[in-house]
């Protein structure tokens, strides 16, 4: 199993930047494909970005492409999401997720989830 803890959320003005981190503990971090998802109040959880086991392949939702960047440091057991040019519609709770066999945009494919970190973007 793997345990995931997100951090780095907060309040930022539109156009600003934040960097989210997801610290993993338990099994070898490089054994897991990783993803970021977000959920706004009253909305379903939606895919943001995903990254393969050693970080060669990345995949983004159209809504964040060109503004967000997913990366991982397997030596530090940490996943990152650099968020630039933030918009009020990016406001949500952001979750990281892990799975041994999958990385991509389908939340139901992930076995492990963190508790989430709040990102609020003011206009």
- Helix (H/G/I), strand (E/B), else coil: 42: coil
The residue behind tokens 């960097």 is 19
Q: CA-based Rg of the chain, rounded to a whole angstrom?
A: 13
Give the pLDDT mean for 91-117.
Answer: 96
For 6-42, write each residue's pLDDT tens digit.
999 999 999 999 999 999 998 899 999 999 999 999 9
Length in residues, the chain: 123
- Helix (H/G/I), strand (E/B), else coil: 108: helix
DSSP notation for 23-90? EEEES-GGG-EEEEEEE-TTS--EEEEEE-TTSS-EEE-TTTTTTEEEEEETTTTEEEEEE-S--GGG
How is residue 75 written in tokens?
A: 């030596």
pLDDT of residue 110 exceeding 90, the answer is yes
Q: What is the pLDDT of residue 27?
A: 83
Q: What is the pLDDT of residue 7?
A: 98
Q: Which is more confidently placed, 58 or 55?
A: 58
Q: What is the pLDDT of residue 55?
A: 86
Query: What residues does 39 pair with on adjacent strands?
Result: 93
Q: Mean pLDDT across the chain, nearest whole number?
A: 96
- Helix (H/G/I), strand (E/B), else coil: 64: coil
């Amino acid at each position: 199993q793997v345990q995931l803890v997100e951090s780095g959320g907060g309040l930022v003005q539109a156009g600003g930047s934040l960097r989210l981190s997801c610290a993993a503990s338990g099994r070898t971090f490089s054994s897991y494909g990783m993803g970021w998802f977000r959920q706004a109040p009253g909305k379903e959880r939606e895919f943001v970005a995903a990254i393969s086991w050693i970080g060669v392949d990345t995949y983004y939702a159209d809504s964040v492409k060109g503004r967000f960047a997913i990366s991982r440091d397997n030596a530090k057991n940490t996943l990152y999401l650099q968020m630039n040019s933030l918009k009020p519609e990016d406001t949500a709770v952001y979750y990281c997720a892990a799975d041994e066999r999958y990385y991509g945009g389908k939340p139901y494919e992930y076995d492990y989830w963190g508790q989430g970190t709040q990102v609020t973007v003011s206009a």
